[in-house]
Each structure stands twice: as C-alpha cells, then as structure tokens.
Amino acid sequence: MSTLAEVTSKALALNVDERVVLAQRVWDSVENFTSREVEKAWLDEADRRWREIETGKVQGLAGEDVMKRVREPLTR
C-alpha cells in the first residue's frame, strides 16, 4: 500500500494536464462529503443570521471594510 508521500510524489511527477484531471477527480470524490446533519446545521445557521439582519438585530458590513479590519493587524 502506498503512503501519502509516495502518492503525492507520483502525482506531482505527472504532466500538468494529468495533474488537473487527477485534482478534479479527487475534488469530485470529497466535494459532497458533508453529512446531512452538518449541512442542515449550516443552513439553520445561515437562516438564523439572515433573520438577525432582516430584523435589524445585527447590521452587515461591507466586504472592503471587513478586509481592512482583518489586514490592519498584519501590517503593524
């Protein structure tokens, strides 16, 4: 049985077209990995947050402002 390091080494030795196909196949195999319970929890959370915005309980922020706040401590 191959180890992850061996598989990775072999994968990286492929030409770029083959690596793209391999990457897509690997992604396809895990893309829908989320269980129904986890998916429901995420949807419930999204609904809860949307209701908070709709009722005015919380106010959204512009994406640019959020990114500025995140980057600011990194530039100090």
3-class secondary structure, 60? coil
Domain residue limits at 39: 35-76
Choice between 39 and 58, residue whose per-residue pLDDT is larger: 58
49 and 20 share one domain: no
74 and 45 share one domain: yes
Q: Give, in degrees to the nearest 5, the angle at Cα 53 between 45 and 41.
A: 5
**What average pLDDT does range 49-67 have in this prediction?**
95
6 and 41 share one domain: no
45 and 19 share one domain: no
| Number of structural domains the chain divides into | 2
Q: Give, in degrees to the nearest 5, the angle at Cα 31 between 28 and 35.
A: 135
Choice between 20 and 2, residue whose per-residue pLDDT is larger: 20
Q: With contact defined as beta carbons under 8 Å apart, do 56 and 48 qualify?
A: no
26 and 50 share one domain: no
Confidence category of residue 76, pLDDT binned at 50, 70, 90: confident
Instruction: Read off the pLDDT of residues 17-53 as tens digits, 9 standing for 90 and up.
Output: 999 999 999 998 887 777 888 889 999 999 999 999 9
73 and 41 share one domain: yes
Query: Encoding tokens for residue 21?
Result: 């196909």
Q: Helix 16-30 crosses helix 4-13 at what angle (to 10 degrees)?
A: 140
pLDDT, the chain, mean? 91
